[in-house]
Amino acid sequence: MSHSFFWVSGRSPVGRAILLLLLLIPLSASAEQEWETSIYKGWTVTSVEVRGLDGGMASDIEKGLALAAKSGLLRSQHPEFYPQTLADDVRRCVLFLARHGYPYAVVSPRVEPAKKNRQVRVVFEIDKGPPVRITNVVLLGFPPDLLDDARDAVTLEEGRVFTDARLVESVEAVGGILAESGYARATVGSRIGWKDSTAIEITVDVLPGNQYYFGDVRISGAEEDLIPLIRKSVTADHGALFSPKALDDSRRNLRVLGVFRQVQVLLDADDAAPDTVDVVVDVIMREHRTIEGTVRLWTDENLDAAGKWEHRNLFKRGRGGRLEVSELMPMPV
């Protein structure tokens, strides 16, 4: 039996697999259907119902339909009916079902008018058709000591209905395992092979590359007296095994200091050595000095005035100061 394979990059692990499913989706509603529904153009859509699915899936589809009412602050907002919007919603239904393992679903819309009030009710009758199931999952290219962890992280189970969300989840999970083990430049991909019209084999493969260790930390955009504070806040220690958690912790540490308006902690695009990667810290300073004042009327007789002066780097190296005053003043008689 022949197989069709589609290479999918780690950044978009299901793009081409879904592209195949999209070929099954009609580009527009039929001319006959558009003619039948055009007489209701501009009428108010009072409700939308999806039939033929379990409650959870039907509810998820309804939330994404353009013809469905949208919750407002005080009341729901009901859209106007347009034939093209109906055709677009049919495609949304088909795409949703394809991405959830039902690429052969048939969606039949029906418009139920209430002519007296120029209102319509839209019903989507759905026949899911046969699901596409996973027959086998193959993991290739993983370092031997990480293979068991990768198997545990993959949520694609044999016999289960295929969904692109689980494929994305699995690719991201194994990528995280590689990154936390020092493989800073690893790439993760997936291939889908069709065994027949309702069965697929999924291959998740990686190019791990080298294990990396942190090198130097290069800083830009910071005032000179803050550079020691930045170096102290960065947890990517020189010589330590690369870990994305160290980068995340460094970003959080720098943001909570309150002296930077923007913080970026990135890997240098060029490797310092075959097994060493430098960290680039780029910051944008925020205004150190702020002045605030408030006036509040508490009762008929008292007025509360407050003020605050703050300097976030008053004593340099990230050491700031704040002065607050508040006074309760009687209102003049």
- Distance between CA atoms of 276 and 212, rounded to whole angstroms? 5
Report the alpha-carbon distance of residue 88 to residue 68 in Å, rounded.
Answer: 12
CA distance 306 to 328: 9
What is the CB neighbour count within 10 angstroms for residue 93? 23
Element (H, E) at 61: helix 55-63
**Domain segments of the chain as ranges:** 13-127, 133-207, 213-285, 289-330
Helix (H, G, I), strand (E, B) or coil at 186: coil
Nearest residue to 189 via CA among 5, 12, 3, 4:
12
d(CA 142, CA 39): 60
- The DSSP result for 92-108, as a single string, is HHHHHHHHTT-TT-EEE
Q: In the numeric block, which tokens belong to residue 332?
A: 């003049």
d(C-alpha 63, C-alpha 45), whole Å: 15
Pairing of strands 119-127, 44-51: parallel
Structure tokens at 201: 């084999």
Q: List, in sequence order, every residue forming a beta bridge with 51; answer none if it has no partner.
A: 125
Q: How far apart are CA 55 and CA 46, in angstroms?
A: 20
Contact 193, 7 (CB under 8 A): no
Report pLDDT for 225: 84
Cα 190 to Cα 254: distance, rounded to the nearest angstrom: 36
Q: How many CB atoms lie within 10 A of CB 73?
A: 5
Two structure tokens written together for 48 = 């939308």
Please indicate whether the domains covering 13-127 and 213-285 agree at the CATH topology level.
yes
pLDDT in tens, the chain (333 residues): 333 222 333 334 444 455 454 444 444 445 556 657 888 999 999 999 999 998 789 999 999 999 998 876 667 789 999 999 999 999 999 999 999 999 999 999 999 998 888 999 999 999 999 999 999 999 999 999 999 999 999 989 999 999 999 999 999 999 999 999 999 999 999 999 999 999 999 999 999 999 999 999 999 988 888 899 899 999 999 999 999 999 999 999 999 888 888 999 999 999 888 999 999 999 988 765 566 656 566 555 666 666 665 655 544 555 555 666 666 566 555
Q: How far apart are the first and last CA of the chain?
A: 97
Options 3.10.20.310, 3.40.50.720, 3.10.20.30, 3.40.50.740; CATH for 13-127 is: 3.10.20.310
> Which CATH architecture group holds 213-285?
Roll (3.10)
What is the pLDDT, as a whole number, of residue 38?
87
287, burial (CB in 10 Å: exposed 0-12, middle 13-18, buried 19+) = exposed
CB atoms within 10 A of CB 169: 16
pLDDT for 22-80, tens place per residue?
444 444 445 556 657 888 999 999 999 999 998 789 999 999 999 998 876 667 789 99
The Cα–Cα gap between 270 and 182 comes to: 16
**pLDDT of amino acid 23:** 47
Containing H/E element for 295? strand 289-297
Query: What pLDDT is stored for residue 290 in this prediction?
Result: 63
Query: Is the pTM higher than 0.85?
Result: no
> Selecting from 3.40.50.150, 3.30.428.10, 3.10.20.310, 3.30.1490.20, what CATH number does the domain 133-207 have?
3.10.20.310
Count of Cβ atoms closer than 10 Å to residue 154 Cβ? 18
Taking the C-alpha atoms of residue 228 and residue 70, their distance in angstroms, rounded to an integer, is 52
